Amino acid sequence: MKKTAQEKSSREYLLVVFSLFAGLFFFLLDSVGFIKWLDEAISFVVTPVVYEGDRVGGVGREYLETFVDIKKFREEYNQLKVVMYEKDVENAFYALLEEENDSLKKQIALGNEDQKYIMSKVLSDREYDFIRINKGEKSGVANGDVVVLGNMFVGVVANAGESSSLVRLATSRNSNFEAVVVRGGVEEARLSEDLDVLSKGVVVGSPDGIRIENMSMNANLQNGDVVVLNDAKVGEYLILGYLVGLSENPAATSRTGYVSPILDYDDLITVFVIGNF
């Protein structure tokens, strides 16, 4: 005789009864340690499967959590960006401080101890043949003042404003100075008694660089000799750069060449104006 659906349903509670009974039975067996061997056997067989499933699921969960927490990550990213900018600003400040320290050291080591200098900062990148500095008439800067770094010539103040000034570089076509060509190091070139003058000349700014003209044909000149300004407008010996592109025409009455500036005008940050107090 077939069992009716009602009879089948009435026996489903046995599943619960047997489950509870089995659960308690296994728990009691485990409590007294009777089925330790079963634990070890099952563990040996299924642990790799469970571990692998757990590992794959864990990887998926990490991706899911990243996706869920994306707003938090964005906020952290923005905070980190702000921190990074703050560090950049700090670094820039320290870099400027370091540069200023180097410039001051150079000025103390190579500058004229009898002179008084006005320390100033270059405000903008080189504009044609000029640079702008952050000191003007208020600080004692006047037109015609010489701007230096150590014993190296930078330019002459062409227009002194109230709190900033325009400095004309040696590359300007309006710049012309008397100069001497010497052989020796940059450090020694400041004092006249140490100078081994090879020739005199005239330095003129030009579109293709700083030209030096009217040098003696008989002088033993070489490319790489040091060009030092020796002009009343400058007032003291200041190094301009190195002699390059020396002319080799035996029929000429004088020799010409170019001056490679010792300073890179594009990288100048701290310069010193020779004060006329």
Partner 1 sequence: MVLNILFGILGVFAIIFLEGLLGAFLGLRIFFVVYVFLFKKIGWRSLLLLSIPILLVFDVAYVFPFGTNILMAGLSLGFLMILGKFFSLDSVLTSFFLFFLTFLLYYILFSVLPSFLVSGEFGYIGVGGFGAMIVKSLVSSGLVVLLEYGASSLRNRGNSSQIRLK
Residue ranges that bind partner 1, judged by CB under 8 A? 8-9, 11-16, 18-20, 22-31, 35, 38-39, 42-43, 46-47, 49-58, 60-61, 64
For the CB of residue 7, give the shortest distance to partner 1 in the complex, in Å: 12
Q: Which is closer to partner 1, CB of 55 or CB of 87?
A: 55
Contacts of 7 (CB under 8 A, 6+ apart): none
Strand partners, 199: 181
What is the C-alpha separation between 181 and 153, in angstroms, rounded?
15
For the CB of residue 8, give the shortest distance to partner 1 in the complex, in Å: 8
Q: Which is closer to partner 1, CB of 34 or CB of 93?
A: 34
For the CB of residue 86, give the shortest distance to partner 1 in the complex, in Å: 35
Tokens of 253: 């009455």
Chain CA centroid to CA 203, Å: 34
For the CB of residue 72, give the shortest distance to partner 1 in the complex, in Å: 15
What is the C-alpha separation between 105 and 103, in angstroms, rounded?
5
For the CB of residue 3, give the shortest distance to partner 1 in the complex, in Å: 10
Q: At what angle do helices 36-68 and 70-110 cross, to 10 degrees?
A: 70
Q: Which is closer to partner 1, CB of 45 or CB of 251?
A: 45
Q: Which is closer to partner 1, CB of 44 or CB of 77?
A: 44
Q: Which is closer to partner 1, CB of 28 or CB of 252?
A: 28
Q: Which is closer to partner 1, CB of 12 or CB of 208?
A: 12
Give the three-class secondary structure for 204. strand
- The one-character DSSP state at 122 is B
For the CB of residue 30, give the shortest distance to partner 1 in the complex, in Å: 4
What is the C-alpha separation between 119 and 150, in angstroms, rounded?
11
Contacts of 24 (CB under 8 A, 6+ apart): none
